[in-house]
Amino acid sequence: MPVKQLKIGFFGSSLVSSYWNGAATYYRGLLKALAARGHAITFYEPDAFERQQHRDMADPYWARVVVYPGNDEEAALRQVIAAARDADVLVKASGVGVYDELLEEALLHAARRSQQVIFWDVDAPATLARVRENPADPFRRLIPRYDAVLTYGGGEPVVQAYLGFGARSCVPIYNALDPDTHHPVPASADWAADLTLLANRLPDREARVAEFFLEPARSRPERRFLLGGNGWPGSALPPNVRAVGHVSTRDHNVLNCSALAVLNVARDSMAAVGFSPATRVFEAAGAGACLITDAWEGIELFLEPEREVLVARDGAEVAEQLARLNEARAREIGAAARRRVLEQHTYARRAREVEALLTEPSERLAEPALEVRA
């Protein structure tokens, strides 16, 4: 039986810019894969945080992008919301950055009776902390009104937390790989390093970056370390750490392929809740890079420790893993990781999960979407 083709109106931070926007790869991979399955995507994003001035892609062929004013233009935003009423599914993503509270309520009010309205949480620990800490937060009373909550990660702890706040259903749709955009390329001396980390400087990640990346750099002065992401240039770094600033998505492959190993460091909240692999995990694996990750619960659901990924509980273990690693071992781990994500963790696979949830909601919305190997 053919699947109904849906019009999806998606309100998120940005589709066309990854500047201070860690969700860009996730949005692009999922929505491109949904469009490939015949669904019509319109992405609504604000002109905010200089993202439009730092675009790293043109408007894609697989989605219509609508940019609305980001400051003091509530009337213009309400016109955009009204225009989105022809969609079959309206999505409010967390972390748009401007007008979040307005959008959370306005999309529910604007929806027609036949529309589904989805809250898609790309930072569930932060959203749940927000409603726990402030019982008067308007979003708390809105949670039960959404047809479903989908999350970027978090596993059973996040599912149970949302159900506890009255959500009708909550399903994790995890990060994944788009093999068309993240894949092996020749290494470049310009990006060469023994250990590379790509992470924006954020308050709830800075201490973990110091522990898992900067301390190993200090303990291994003979090794080369490369740090990409906004906010780091100008900070006090060991002399063997090179900060390169924002790295465009078009350079992610060569960045990942030019390092002996790539490091993933979760934010405090993501590490605490677990089951939250960052986009960087799948980008690195897709490029066939050897990944070292800080330890968090659930990593084995995505990659097998010691065979497909190296896991470290602190900075000393990162330094030990790096000291034991040679090029042959790194290539072996990277190749195994790439095989695993191509088999089980592509956005094409995630899109099928989302499609089933949206087209058969009564049967599917109560079930976790991720299938894992025994």
pLDDT band at 112 (very low <50, low <70, confident <90, very high): confident
pLDDT band at 226 (very low <50, low <70, confident <90, very high): very high
Q: Is the pLDDT of residue 366 over 80?
A: no
**Sheet strands side by side (includes 40-47):** 64-69, 40-47, 7-11, 89-93, 116-121, 148-151, 170-172
pLDDT, mean over the chain: 93
Is there a common fold for 7-176+347-364 and 189-344?
yes
In angstroms, the CA 347 to CA 205 distance is: 26
In angstroms, the CA 118 to CA 289 distance is: 35
Superfamily of domain 7-176+347-364: Glycogen Phosphorylase B; (3.40.50.2000)
* Residue 2, pLDDT score: 59
* Residue 361, pLDDT score: 58
Report helix, strand or coil for 187. Answer: coil
* Residue 360, pLDDT score: 76
* Residue 114, pLDDT score: 82
Q: What is the pLDDT of residues 139-164, one digit of tens each?
A: 999 999 999 999 998 989 999 999 99
pLDDT band at 373 (very low <50, low <70, confident <90, very high): very low
| pLDDT above 90 as % of the chain | 84
To the question of pTM greater than 0.85 for the whole model, the response is yes
Superfamily of domain 189-344: Glycogen Phosphorylase B; (3.40.50.2000)
Q: What is the pLDDT of residues 303-357, one digit of tens each?
A: 999 999 999 999 999 999 999 999 999 999 999 999 999 999 999 999 999 999 9
Q: Is the pLDDT of residue 258 over 70?
A: yes
CB 26 within 8 A of CB 279: yes
* Residue 3, pLDDT score: 73
* β partners of residue 45: 67
Report helix, strand or coil for 241. Answer: strand
pLDDT band at 220 (very low <50, low <70, confident <90, very high): very high
Residues 6+ apart with CB under 8 A from 210: none
In angstroms, the CA 60 to CA 26 distance is: 15
Q: Angle at Cα 191 formed by Cα 17 and Cα 176, nearest 5°?
A: 45
Q: What is the pLDDT of residues 271-309, one digit of tens each?
A: 888 999 999 999 999 999 999 999 999 999 999 999 999
In angstroms, the CA 370 to CA 351 distance is: 12
Return the domain boundaries, the chain. 7-176+347-364, 189-344
pLDDT band at 362 (very low <50, low <70, confident <90, very high): low
Per-position b or e across 80-98, b if 16+ CB within 10 A of its CB? bbeebeebbbbbbbbbbbb
* Residue 368, pLDDT score: 43
Q: Is the pLDDT of residue 94 over 80?
A: yes
Quick one: angle between helices 124-133 and 155-164, nearest 10?
30
Q: Which of 248, 262, 279 is nearest to 345 (CA)?
A: 279
Residues 6+ apart with CB under 8 A from 39: 5, 6, 7, 8, 355
Q: Is the pLDDT of residue 370 over 60?
A: no
